[in-house]
Amino acid sequence: MKLRKIFASAVLLATTAASVNAEVAVIVSRDNQNAKLDQELISRIFLGKVSSFPNDVEAIAIDMKKGSDIRNEFGESFLEKTPSQLNTYWSRLIFTGRAKPNQEVDSAEEMKKLIAKNPNMIGYIDVKDVDKTVRVVAKK
Amino acid sequence: MYKKLGTSAVIAGLVSSATLVQAADDDLGIYGFLSVGAAVLDTDNRVEKGNENYGKPISLDGFDDDAGNFKQDAIFGLQITKQVNEKTSATGQLVSRGGSNYNTEAAWAFVTYNATKDVDLRMGRLRIPFFYYSEFLEVGYAYNWIRTPSDVYSLPFSSFDGVDATKRFSYGKIDGSVKVNYGRFSETIDLYGDDYKADLTNVLGVVVDLNKGDFGFRLSAQQAEVSFDMDPTASTGRLVDRLQAGAYQAIAGLGLDPKLQEEFDFDGHQSNFYDVAFTYNNGTYGLVAEANTIIYESALLMDSESWLVSGSRRFNDITVHATYSTSKSVFDGGDAGEVQKLLPLHGEDVSMILGARYDYSAGTALKVEVQHHDEKIHLNEDGNSGMLYSVAVDMIF
């Protein structure tokens, strides 16, 4: 009996932990011709290293607001960097005028609206916010 | 037809108002960085009486007496970027340094023209991209040290006024860029603690940057014609003036061809700089190795070779790092080299740095560092060694 209780709370704990780490969907416009993108290329686009999609069309990365959970989640899973590491990375580009930070949006709604109408843009939202206005090219 | 025209006019109107809204959103960027720190230099006076360096503290990164110093590491920078139109932006960066009495200076001030999505042209005041860390040297937050190792990062020049062109490219999984810079620099600089009016003309260089995954490689070659307001007859007591006078005397004393004097001038002499850097960082382990050489055609400044290797290991928010760096001057060949050996020019330094960085919040880092610096040879004689203990807070906003 006691054992079952412990087991139950362990399961409960595990589910809570899983729900903290939201699954992130990387999205593009339905007019974007690239079916799937791998994590490596997504990372290079968001870090300003690559400026085109595989079909040679210009790629513009859109970030969620700095400090937001979804941005930190995307940073961990797709860019494999902590917020501090990303800040260090970007400070080298910004203070040398080499690049300016990606455009930011405040919400999943805003992100979808922006992405839907521009085939050059690529962004990310929580998987549960995905709808038919945008297309998912990667999930993690 | 009329209707069609009307529709496209409406579409054009919509598109341009959308662009306007977007431009108003992100056309002005304000960024800043700040560092404050405290350090104590502790010299071990190991040389004996009679040595030129007897009783002298080592001089390290502007710390030149054995006492606490709160000012030298202080730095404040403010950068404003204004997007003028889709292809053109203006950037200005003002930097105020404690080490130069908080005098504010425009470190960067340039206009960028994005010729294509992969080509940028810039004009204005830029940084000479000598070393791997040159262009963000003052942004302490951007690296693990409190300051870059001065054995390697020792050139008295940093900015230039001119142009640069950068071409970015990707080749398979390798991302890279090639940058060409050209310009001029005229300013009063500090040379061995004395002020000289320096003029760098025809500053011409190329930088190649390659990245693949966790690996990075960078190559920089720069050249310039360097001249200073030399006066070997002056009684100002500036070291390089006295060196030039000493060189002329030595040439006469050794009975060498008086034409050799020209080699101890700056007029028309070119200087060359080459730097190569290799980096690796997988998020947990990091490595930086950098080596460079400076070749002055003028024999009045010694050629030098320096290198560093630095490793780091991250444990969540704490990164520990260790660095070895060294530099040594190199004598010219022939008679010029013989004259150089009679002047107090030769130096050889070795440093070890042990430090830790704690990422206290996403934009703030606390750092502690211990540096052992050994002036093996200082002004041609045995030098002293010492420790520099430092703490600092670096932030960006």
Whether A69 is covered by a domain: the verdict is yes
Are B388 and B39 in contact, with CB atoms under 8 Å apart?
Answer: yes
Q: What's the mean pLDDT in B188-216?
A: 92
CB-based contacts of B159, cutoff 8 Å, min separation 6? B107, B108, B125, B126, B127, B128, B185, B187
User: Which of B110, B317, B363 is nearest residue A97 as measured by Cβ atoms?
Assistant: B110
The complex scores an ipTM of 0.86
pLDDT surpassing 80 at residue A1: no
**Taking CB atoms and an 8 Å cutoff, what residues of chain A touch B29?**
94, 100-101
pLDDT surpassing 90 at residue B276: yes
A86: domain CATH number is: 3.40.190.10
**Taking CB atoms and an 8 Å cutoff, what residues of chain B touch A49?**
170, 175, 211
Give one word for B24, left, alpha or beta, with left for phi > 0 and alpha for psi -120 to 50. Answer: alpha
pLDDT surpassing 60 at residue B209: yes
CB-CB under 8 Å, B283 with A85: yes
Phi, psi of A45 (to 5 degrees): -65, -45
Whether A12 is covered by a domain: the verdict is no
Q: Which residue has the tokens 């260089």?
A: B205
Q: From the candidates A47, A91, A103, which should be mutated to test the interface with B, based on the most B CB atoms within 10 A?
A: A91
Domain range for A113 is 22-139
Q: What is the pLDDT of residues B344-354, one digit of tens each?
A: 889 999 999 99
Are B220 and B210 in contact, with CB atoms under 8 Å apart?
Answer: no
pLDDT of residue B326: 97
pLDDT of residue B235: 63
User: Which of A40, A52, A81 is nearest residue B283 as measured by Cβ atoms?
Assistant: A81
pLDDT surpassing 50 at residue A14: no
CB-CB under 8 Å, B359 with A95: no
Q: What is the pLDDT of residues B298-316, one digit of tens each?
A: 998 899 999 999 999 999 9
Q: What's the mean pLDDT in A61-85?
A: 95
CB-CB under 8 Å, A92 with B33: no
Least confident of A3-7, A113-117, B274-278, B306-310: A3-7
Query: Which residue, B152, B192, B375, B220, is CA-closest to B300?
Result: B192
3-state secondary structure of B225: strand
User: Which of A52, A85, A95 is nearest residue B136 as measured by Cβ atoms?
Assistant: A95
Q: What's the mean pLDDT in B240-246?
A: 88
pLDDT surpassing 80 at residue B16: no
Report DSSP state, residue A31. Answer: T
CA distance B128 to A114: 39
- Which class does domain B36-396 fall in? mainly beta
pLDDT of residue B58: 82
β-pair partners for A24: A126
Q: From the candidates B136, B158, B285, B366, which should be mutated to test the interface with A, based on the most A CB atoms within 10 A?
A: B136
| Banded model confidence at residue A20, pLDDT cuts 50, 70, 90 | low
Whether A131 is covered by a domain: the verdict is yes
Chain A contact for B231 (CB, 8 A cutoff): no
pLDDT surpassing 80 at residue A7: no
Phi, psi of B269 (to 5 degrees): -90, 140
Phi, psi of B256 (to 5 degrees): -85, 165
Q: What is the DSSP string of B163-183?
A: EEEEEEEEETTEEEEEEEEEE
Alpha carbon distances (Å) from B116 to A51, A120, B87, B103, B177: 11, 15, 8, 38, 14
Report DSSP state, residue A11. Answer: H
Chain A contact for B118 (CB, 8 A cutoff): yes
Q: What are A's interface residues with B at a Cβ cutoff of 8 A? A: 40, 44, 49-52, 58, 67, 80-85, 87-88, 91-92, 94-98, 100-101, 103
Residue A54: exposed, middle, or buried by beta-carbon count in 10 A (0-12, 13-18, 19+)?
A: middle
Are B394 and B140 in contact, with CB atoms under 8 Å apart?
Answer: yes
Task: Give the Cα-Cα-Cα angle A50, B287, B72 (nearest 5 degrees).
Answer: 100
pLDDT of residue A6: 52
What is the number of structural domains in chain A? 1
User: Smallest CA–CA separation between B31 and chain A, in Å?
Assistant: 8
Whether A11 is covered by a domain: the verdict is no
User: Which of B127, B139, B175 is nearest residue A49 as measured by Cβ atoms?
Assistant: B175
Whether A1 is covered by a domain: the verdict is no
Percent with pLDDT over 90 in chain B: 65
CB-CB under 8 Å, A81 with B136: no
User: Smallest CA–CA separation between A50 and chain B, in Å?
Assistant: 7
CB-CB under 8 Å, A83 with B108: no
Report the first-to-last Cα separation within chain A, whole angstroms. Answer: 37
pLDDT surpassing 90 at residue B21: no
Q: From the candidates B112, B113, B135, which should be mutated to test the interface with A, based on the most A CB atoms within 10 A?
A: B135
Residues 314-333 of B with CB under 8 A from A: 317
**Taking CB atoms and an 8 Å cutoff, what residues of chain A touch B89?**
100
CA distance A136 to B383: 65
**Taking CB atoms and an 8 Å cutoff, what residues of chain A touch B79?**
94-95
Least confident of A124-138, B7-21, B38-52: B7-21
> How confident is the prediction for chain B on average, in pLDDT?
89
CA distance B144 to B285: 13
CA distance B318 to A71: 22
Q: What is the pLDDT of residues B122-160, one digit of tens each?
A: 999 999 999 999 999 999 999 999 999 999 998 888 899
CB-CB under 8 Å, A40 with B31: no
A137 vs B13 pLDDT, higher one: A137
